[in-house]
Amino acid sequence: MRVIVANCSVDYAGRLSAHLPLAPRLIMVKADGCVAIHADGGAYKPLNWMNAPNRLVEGDGVWTVTNPNGEKITITLVEVLSDSSWVLGTDPGLQKDGVEAHLQELLAANCTHLAEGFRLVRREYPTDIGPVDLLCRDADGVTVAVEIKRRGEIDGVEQLTRYLDFLNRDPMLRPVRGMFVAQQIKPQARVLAADRGISWLEVDYDELRGLASNELRLF
């Protein structure tokens, strides 16, 4: 990655025209060819950018970046304050904590956190329209289909409703009731779940990790 801090102006021509007047900015040229111009503000979005594939031509105080679609960025460098290059290598990617797969694993190992007497039948139980996250039996032996989301919204309730329709066609399973589980469930999703006869439960990820941990802790 090449990182340049410079007083510059930037002009874009393509689907529209745009102009950034002269000011100090950060210019990033990534290994894949992507060029991005940033200001000293905002979390992530550049002021202007061009993704690969493109062609960068460095002239005397003027850079031009063009792509196959005919778009063009012209960077006029008035004063270069810093210019450095770094080899970052292959990035391993973002590893999210608390995603649905983690929640499913923890709840499968601790079904009683869903309700007393719950026991796991199978994770990723198949249906004709896709697998339901957990298939359990409650304390009375009734089959329970559990759909797990990180954030519970109406779409998740609709998804579980479709699973229940298919599961209740199996005479070995029915009657099957549903449980919608998430770290946070929106009020609209709660109302829809109740209307469909589906119970819902909000779970605490940190608490689940404590229940699932076999490590001895002093505190």
Confidence band, pLDDT 50/70/90 cuts, at residue 43: low
In a domain, 71, yes or no: yes
Check whether residue 107 and residue 81 sit in a common domain: no
Residue 14 lies in a domain: yes
pLDDT of residue 120: 93
Say how many domains are in the chain. Answer: 2
Rounded to an integer, the average pLDDT of 158-185 is: 94
* Long-range contacts from 207-214, C-beta under 8 angstroms, 24+ separation: 208/103, 208/106, 208/107, 208/110, 208/113, 209/106, 211/106, 211/110, 211/113, 212/105, 212/106, 212/109, 212/110
Residues 50 and 120 in one domain: no
Identify whether residues 26 and 60 lie together within a single domain: yes
What value does the mean pLDDT take over residues 22-39?
Answer: 93
What pLDDT shows up at residue 103? 86
* pLDDT value, residue 219: 40
- pLDDT grade, residue 211 (50/70/90)? low
Range of the domain at 177: 100-212
Supply the pLDDT for residue 89. Answer: 81
Instruction: Write down which residue in 85, 118, 134 finishes a domain.
Output: 85
Task: Note whether residue 95 is domain-resident.
Answer: no
Domain assignment present for 205: yes
Let me know if residue 217 belongs to a domain: no
pLDDT at 12 (0 to 100):
95
Q: Mark whether 107 and 208 lie in a shared domain.
A: yes
Q: pTM for the full model?
A: 0.55
79 in the same domain as 21: yes
Last residue of a domain, one of 85, 120, 155: 85
Q: Bigger pLDDT: 57 or 105?
A: 57
Percent of the chain with pLDDT over 70: 92
Residue 195 located in a structural domain? yes
pLDDT at 97 exceeding the cut of 50 = no
Q: Is 155 inside any structural domain? A: yes
Residue 9: pLDDT band (50, 70, 90) is very high
The pLDDT value recorded for residue 73 is 97
Query: Is pLDDT above 70 for 6?
Result: yes
Specify if 218 maps to a domain. no
How many Å apart are CA 99 and CA 154, to the nearest integer?
A: 18
99-151, pLDDT tens digit by residue? 678 888 888 888 888 899 999 999 999 988 999 999 999 999 999 999 999 88
Tell me: do 67 and 116 sit in the same domain.
no
Residue 119's domain is classified under what CATH number? 3.40.1350.10
Alpha-carbon distance of 77 to 95, in angstroms, equals: 38
Q: Which of these three, 56, 85, 114, is where a domain ends?
A: 85
Give the orientation angle of helix 154-167 with respect to helix 187-195, to 10 degrees. Answer: 20
